[in-house]
Amino acid sequence: MPVWCCRCSLAGHFRSYSDTETEGEIFNSLVQYFGDNLGRKVKAMPLVEETSLLEDSSVTLPVVIIGNGPSGICLSYMLSGYRPYLSSEAIHPNTILHSKLEESRHLSIIDQDLEYLSEGLEGRSSNPVAVLFDTLLHPDADFGYDYPSVLHWKLEQRHYIPHLVFGKGPPGGAWHNMEGSMLTISFGNWMELPGLKFKDWVSSKRRNLKGDRVMPDEIARYYKHYVKVMGLQKNFRENTFITSVSRLYRDQDDSDSQEIDVSKQHLQIEKSKIIKRNWEIRGYQRIGDGSHVPFCLFAENVVLATGTLDSPGHLEIEGEDFPFVFHSMPEFGAAVNKGKLRGKVDPVLIVGSGLTAADAVLFAHNNNIPVIHVFRRRVTDQGLIFKQLPKKLYPEYHKVYHMMCTQSYAGDSNLLSDYTSFPEHHVLSFKSDMKCILQSVSGLKKIFKLSAAVVLIGSHPNLSFLKEQGCYLGHKSSQPITCKGNPVEIDAFTYECVKESNLFALGPLVGDNFVRFLKGGALGVTHCLAIRQKKKQHLFVERGGGDGIA
């Protein structure tokens, strides 16, 4: 099977992004990126339905985004030329922030000093641009207010930056795989992306709107529709799997030399003669008949927007690979829906103290399945997520928390009929006869017979396409990347990886697990790339390559 190799072919394909642009304007915008050799090098890039992926060319794609969830979608929206401005009649409740916004009202937020605007703001994200963008989209949301956004959006096609977004499934990412019977933790309007109100979309799909929280499958359909209605489809490639992302280098003394991968030979060359330049991205696309079509392309910048749900966390104990041990809600839900646990008298063991574990408890309870709930923390631990959720807004989760506190195992007593919690316990092992051994913090061991076990202790991103599984990008370079414990270390205002230039990370990879905050990452990346684009244009004119075009 042939391998399609490209550095993106953009001219013919780019023309379809804007019917109003002339061919000359399109050429000029591309010249700003690639210089005066562009014209003889660019070929047309067919749509994914027409051939496998891309055709051979010698032009490097400015941006490749890996992951088509809300992070990748929002970034594609901004890279497509959509710009946020302060609305003419808007008054932000934060008077200091509003006065700063007034100073540069004529500029889009992307073109302003994000560090200056973010100064002094506080919120539920550790990333200052995420807090800034959230307070612009949802002013004072954490105080219970539902103020409208102070921003309005304009499509300015001259700011379009060519890019591709790769995803394993349809736009929306992991939202298409979440358990459909559970409500989202966030309000519907917090899940929306710029330019399309979720309430407006969902009201056209169903008549009865009960409350502000919605089902995950509705969110997934909203994201898929968003890509279509915003005209972003041509940037997206579905059913694509990335297998390798590697850094390429270019010799400074030979600007026309072809990019070369790092090898021992080149590592021996003086560092002063080598500069980091481009990325090589390899992978394959799964097509209609189930076969795989390999591809290879090159990019100037790569954005990691994979989320962290690829690889469920494991206890790493004996017997964890037995077929009765599940590691995700979809696995557990499928087993229940297929009737595999019907009529079972033995309880299901649920491990974990987060919201996914609580979802599993509720799911089992709704299906009349008794539960043993094991978690390491004390029920009074202030770090438990339930402590952060208002009771009125999240009654079902507080029901679980109430059971965790009041229905705990007491010494030699029997299990309760529907639910028994085991605070400050962990699982020692699973046995082939469907038994598990639990151990308390004091060392006391207990053996229980199970009908199934569900281990829900978090998840890790699959960054196997990067060297060292991407570990070197984290704050703790010797450990796997996780949303809470070891996120990717980034520049606070550009989202560029501290340890790898021209590589960016968004969303859960940098600790922003909520959609309302991950949108700030798209703002930071677009801001950074827009600045670099202007520098390139200026350099191009200085070198006399523009001939009046740039």
pLDDT digit string, tens, across residues 54-99: 444 445 799 999 999 899 999 999 999 999 999 998 999 999 999 9
Q: Do 87 and 217 sit in the same domain of this protein?
A: yes
Q: Do 212 and 70 sit in the same domain of this protein?
A: yes
11 occurs within a structural domain = no
Query: Who has greater pLDDT, 550 or 240?
Result: 240
**How many independent structural domains does the chain possess?**
2
- Taking the CA atoms of the chain, what radius of gyration do you get in angstroms? 26
Q: Do 75 and 221 sit in the same domain of this protein?
A: yes
302 occurs within a structural domain = no
Name which of 511, 504, 456, 503 is nearest 481 in CA terms: 511
243 occurs within a structural domain = no
Mean pLDDT of the chain: 80
pLDDT of residue 307: 84
Q: Which of 457, 484, 502 is the last residue of a domain?
A: 457
Q: Do 512 and 453 sit in the same domain of this protein?
A: no
Q: Could you tell me the pLDDT band of residue 179, with boundaries at 50, 70 and 90?
A: low
pLDDT of residue 93: 93
pLDDT of residue 249: 66
Q: Is the pLDDT of residue 44 over 80?
A: no
Average pLDDT over residues 136-150: 85
Q: Do 144 and 87 sit in the same domain of this protein?
A: yes
Q: What percent of the chain has pLDDT over 70?
A: 76
Query: In CATH, what number is assigned to the domain containing residue 350?
Result: 3.50.50.60
Q: Which of 457, 481, 504 is the last residue of a domain?
A: 457
101 occurs within a structural domain = yes
Q: Do 230 and 153 sit in the same domain of this protein?
A: yes
Query: Who has greater pLDDT, 216 or 179?
Result: 216
Q: Do 381 and 502 sit in the same domain of this protein?
A: no
287 occurs within a structural domain = no
Q: Is the pLDDT of residue 14 over 90?
A: no
Q: Do 77 and 189 sit in the same domain of this protein?
A: yes
Q: Is the pLDDT of residue 257 over 60?
A: no
32 occurs within a structural domain = no
pLDDT of residue 124: 79
Q: Is the pLDDT of residue 33 over 50?
A: no
Q: Do 172 and 116 sit in the same domain of this protein?
A: yes
Q: Do 91 and 149 sit in the same domain of this protein?
A: yes
pLDDT of residue 190: 67
pTM above 0.85, yes or no: no
Distance CA 424, CA 379 (A): 9
337 occurs within a structural domain = yes
Average pLDDT over residues 500-516: 90
Amino acid letter for position 284: Y
Q: Could you tell me the pLDDT band of residue 540, with boundaries at 50, 70 and 90?
A: low
Q: Is the pLDDT of residue 494 over 90?
A: yes
Distance CA 123, CA 70 (A): 20
Distance CA 459, CA 457 (A): 7
400 occurs within a structural domain = yes
Cβ 87 vs Cβ 194: under 8 Å: no
Q: Do 507 and 430 sit in the same domain of this protein?
A: no
- C-alpha angle 278-284-285 in degrees, rounded to nearest 5: 120
Q: Do 122 and 195 sit in the same domain of this protein?
A: yes
Q: Is the pLDDT of residue 272 over 90?
A: no
pLDDT of residue 59: 57
**pLDDT tens track for 294-349:** 999 999 999 999 987 768 889 999 999 999 999 988 889 889 988 888 777 799 99
Domain of 445 in residue numbering reads as 314-457
Average pLDDT over residues 237-265: 65
Q: Which of 429, 457, 485 is the last residue of a domain?
A: 457
